[in-house]
Structure 1
Amino acid sequence: MNFSKYWMLVTIDGMGERKLKEIALAKTFMIDVFANLRGIDEMSDTLIQKQLFNLFENNTGEQSLLAQRSLLCFISWNIEQVCLQLVRQFGTFHGFTQRDLLPYVLDDDGSLQPSNKYQCVSRQILQTFNPEKSSLSSWTSRKVKQHDPLNKFLLECGVYLISDWAILNDTKTQQLPKILGEFHSLTSIEIERSQKILAAYHSIYRIERLEQRGRGYRGRCKVPTTEQLEKIRGILNQTEMSKFSHERLLGELQQLASQLREYRIYVRGGKFIRDSLDEQLNQNYTLLENIPAENSENLTIEVDRTQEFLKAYRLQMSNCLDSALNSVVRSRVGKLQKKNVDKANNFTTALYLFHCERLSMSEIAKKLGLRAQDTVTRLLKLKEFRADVRQEILLRLRENILELAQSYSTPERLKKLYLQINEAIEEEINKVISQADKEASTIKSNVPMSCFSQTLCKQLEERRKIHDS
């Protein structure tokens, strides 16, 4: 045990760099209090903190202040460890370092007397600590992760500190149409499926969680047990949904939680980052066989095969987007022509004016001689249009990529990676549709055109050329 943690304060300098500050009075105090104890180095932090807490609570004057100061020094070390853990978990991907986090939570100046104007984070933690209910280390971890300024910064980086299972717990099934439909552009069939999964999860996991809370348990939501998953599977199988394995059910729940997490980050003003399949493969080579890394020649082969797969994947993504747009436009035009040929022509023209010439709905209405902008909105039905395109891409790309991956992995690994591949594909498609969504909501000529619009415009240009000739 590092006994000096009770008189060495972790703090930061003016440049945000970590430094240690010795509190001489706390050092003398700790040595005096524990000098007569044998085996102090083997004594647990819990026992030391319990004694210090008693001195802090049950005494007045300098002894109480010094016991408090010793505990505050220990808390500073724990705060640093929490920040290091956050950096290890999220820092590399979300672009922040320990130096970014520490200023939000390491603001203890080492004084004995608390300030009348401001209470530092360490003192806030100690003030709310109850040694009968928690350890000081775990309480510090919890309070640091709940600290509003730190959470605001993490949200801006795209990190939302709440477990998947807690997110699922406090999301109502009635909220899913808005979140999954409007934000993620999922179809009504996909939304209904997610609602059934969430309802089954609530009926087992959330009820048991509420029972735990009634018994006084306040710990973090944990991964569902095998028994809980079996009960959830039973409910879903009764609703005539496809049969679920434990692994697949767990994956579907985590995928839904990920979608809900992205929405929460967005509405709280943060940015969310979706992994593209390119990024996942570049980082992990997950669709390739395991090749021993000791041999540099093998490693070169692995990298070459990954790049080869990515090149083929990008081509498939581009082709599927192109064919999906073509299919949906032809289908929509065909339906409109059965009702009204002029309406079908107006549809393709309005689609071109909106996506390619970047005109507003009111401007398009004037160009086409229509009554008002709401007439154009009803004609285009852009959200429905994008949802149809998304579904078409998903069907085409899933089949093509799984077939493509067979050339780069063994059948055994493909079975294990099936869900992962599906999730990665869905994320990639969501990214394309989300870009189109945002572009449609702020259509401006100076905003870069999304790949969705670029592909669509290329097709519409070809249609116009054929029509004019």
Structure 2
Amino acid sequence: MVAASKYWKLVRLDATGRRKVEEIESAKAFFQAQFSTLLSQAETDDRTIQNRLLHLLHESDRSALAEGCLRCFISNKIEQICIQLEAQFGKNHGFTRDDLFSFVLDDVSPKRVKPIADGENFQYKSLATEILETFDCHKGSFNSWITRLVKHHRELNAFLLQHGVYLVSDWAILNDTTNKQLQRIFLEFHHLTSGEIQQFSLLLETYHAVYRRDRLKLRQTGGKGGQCLPPTSSQIAEMISYFQIKSGIQLQSGQMMNQFRNMADKLREYRIYIRGGIAKTEPLYCGENFNLESVSQEEEETEFLTAYRRAFHSCLDKSLESAISDRLKRTSRQKNYSSQQFIFGIHLFHCQQLSMSKIAGLIGLEQEYQVSRLLKLKEFRADVRQRMLKYLHDSVLQQAIAYTNPDLLPQLEQKIDVALDEQITQLINEAEAESTTPNRREQSLFTARLCHYLKKVLQT
């Protein structure tokens, strides 16, 4: 039987950021009136109900009520996905469901904001709105679409990457990695020997020879590629034979799968690193310049890394908030611009990836250069960088005291400054490179946290 209440109970965050379940009486009355007969049937499922509600979206007299029911369902589904991610990765990677809720459980009551000068109204768009606007019933189920958009959410993924989680299967990673890429990564990033690289290269060739071939055949016959599932037993058997012919080595099926997973783990670690995450092999110890000698036990190292990641996020958030607050105060005192123009302008540029010329029309300015003068992005990034250096230095030094001899603190403090300066510079450089790339797909950590903060501002 369908749990009907998920169509009239909205899961959202209150003003303090805490999870709250709100019963929507109008949605409840509408749903019970529409589906009372259907719900009594044993074979009724969510897909039948959702198709009916999606159809009702196009009927003017009932569209708002149908949308309300769907938004409630979306919020419940989003909550379950966050709970699953916490169960799967949270304990080992230092986050909870509440951390994830703040990125994707963002639905609000529809409302308009005041016009900005002579420009058009700006309206905040929640993830639930995006899901409803982009869903195509001809391309899959509503449930699958919600899951897809949540797990591809840019801010959520940037957060997960910083915590060492990359939401792509081993099999997809192996499928889209070329042999040339693998050889470069395993040499330059993992520093493997030529013999090890040669064996991994042959394993990847083996995987592609069977797995890629079968996916290509499927597409050529009109099938959908879909997600990369684990290789079947028949594919594994063919891979074993291929590898033996090429190498003279015979592997058992379990050994073959372990080799593939080991290879994918190394590639995953590299992808996390280049997308702004912290490599688990060198979390804060930047080469030879920084080494906490007392952090030798794996448990202590994990504890320190978890604390550092939290501090990195917290200090970045604090730096962004204080920098924006100061900028809003300065802008409000200017004659040519308003603080409202700044907050909407920076959101449109970073979070909606609009060009300066398009932003100008939306916030009541005439020329592109006026937007550049208003936002002063280079100055803004430099301001955030200086604030973050101070906040993170104090935080990390305090944490390091628990892991080292107090007599070594002066020397340790210098090494911490070098390491933090390098990592924060990398963060700012990624944000700068991103700002000059049109139609950018990946989102830097800087932008993800900035958009997360701006979202809260726009919702108030």
Measured against the shorter chain, the TM-score band is 0.5 to 0.7
Q: Per the alignment, do residues 38 and 142 of structure 1 end up closer, same or farther by CA in structure 2, a change over 3 Å counting? A: closer
1:107-146 superposed Cα distances (whole Å, 9 cap, x missing partner): 1114499995222101111222233432222221111000
2:179 to 153, 173, 180: 173
Shift in Å, 1:42 = 6.1
In 1, Cα distance between equivalents of 2:42 and 2:27: 17
Matched, 1:211 2:212: no
Matched, 1:118 2:124: yes
One-letter amino acid of the counterpart of residue 106, structure 2: D
Contact 1:87/1:96, CA 8 A, preserved across alignment: yes
1:335-391 superposed Cα distances (whole Å, 9 cap, x missing partner): xxxxxxxxxxxxxxxxxxxxxxxxxxxxxxxxxxxxxxxxxxxxxxxxxxxxxxxxx
The equivalent of 1:243 in structure 2 is 250
Q: Per the alignment, do residues 179 and 77 of structure 1 end up closer, same or farther by CA in structure 2, a change over 3 Å counting? A: same
When normalised by structure 2's length, the TM-score is 0.57
One-letter amino acid of the counterpart of residue 88, structure 1: A
The equivalent of 1:394 in structure 2 is none
The aligned runs of 1:34-183 (5 Å cut-off) are 34-37=35-38, 39=40, 43-57=44-58, 59-60=59-60, 62-111=61-110, 117-183=123-189
In 2, Cα distance between equivalents of 1:55 and 1:205: 43
The aligned runs of 1:399-414 (5 Å cut-off) are none
One-letter amino acid of the counterpart of residue 144, structure 1: V
When normalised by structure 1's length, the TM-score is 0.56
Shift in Å, 1:445 = 10
Report the secondary structure of 2:161's partner residue. helix
The equivalent of 1:377 in structure 2 is none
The equivalent of 1:26 in structure 2 is 27
1:297-354 superposed Cα distances (whole Å, 9 cap, x missing partner): xxxxxxxxxxxxxxxxxxxxxxxxxxxxxxxxxxxxxxxxxxxxxxxxxxxxxxxxxx
Report the secondary structure of 1:10's partner residue. strand
One-letter amino acid of the counterpart of residue 233, structure 2: T
Residue ranges of structure 2 left out of the alignment (5+ in a row): 114-120, 283-295, 303-411, 417-460
In 1, Cα distance between equivalents of 2:151 and 2:123: 24
1:222-251 superposed Cα distances (whole Å, 9 cap, x missing partner): 111111111111111111342111111111
In 1, Cα distance between equivalents of 2:19 and 2:218: 40
Q: Per the alignment, do residues 262 and 38 of structure 1 end up closer, same or farther by CA in structure 2, a change over 3 Å counting? A: closer
Report the secondary structure of 2:12's partner residue. strand
The aligned runs of 1:176-325 (5 Å cut-off) are 176-214=182-220, 215-273=222-280
Contact 1:23/1:110, CA 8 A, preserved across alignment: no
Contact 1:66/1:112, CA 8 A, preserved across alignment: no
1:234-278 superposed Cα distances (whole Å, 9 cap, x missing partner): 111111342111111111111000000000001111023369x98
Contact 1:34/1:40, CA 8 A, preserved across alignment: no
Contact 1:65/1:112, CA 8 A, preserved across alignment: no
Q: Per the alignment, do residues 41 and 15 of structure 1 end up closer, same or farther by CA in structure 2, a change over 3 Å counting? A: farther
Question: Matched residue pairs, number?
Answer: 284
Shift in Å, 1:38 = 6.0
Contact 2:215/2:225, CA 8 A, preserved across alignment: no
RMSD (Å) for aligned C-alpha atoms = 2.8
In 2, Cα distance between equivalents of 1:35 and 1:253: 51
Report the secondary structure of 2:81's partner residue. helix
The equivalent of 2:311 in structure 1 is none
Report the secondary structure of 1:80's partner residue. helix
In 2, Cα distance between equivalents of 1:164 and 1:47: 34
Q: Per the alignment, do residues 154 and 42 of structure 1 end up closer, same or farther by CA in structure 2, a change over 3 Å counting? A: same
Q: Per the alignment, do residues 38 and 45 of structure 1 end up closer, same or farther by CA in structure 2, a change over 3 Å counting? A: closer
Q: Per the alignment, do residues 445 and 128 of structure 1 end up closer, same or farther by CA in structure 2, a change over 3 Å counting? A: closer
Report the secondary structure of 1:167's partner residue. helix
Report the secondary structure of 1:221's partner residue. coil
Q: Per the alignment, do residues 218 and 83 of structure 1 end up closer, same or farther by CA in structure 2, a change over 3 Å counting? A: farther
In 1, Cα distance between equivalents of 2:57 and 2:413: 65
Shift in Å, 1:199 = 0.8
Residue ranges of structure 1 left out of the alignment (5+ in a row): 284-443, 449-469
Report the secondary structure of 1:239's partner residue. helix
Q: Per the alignment, do residues 274 and 226 of structure 1 end up closer, same or farther by CA in structure 2, a change over 3 Å counting? A: farther
Shift in Å, 1:27 = 1.6
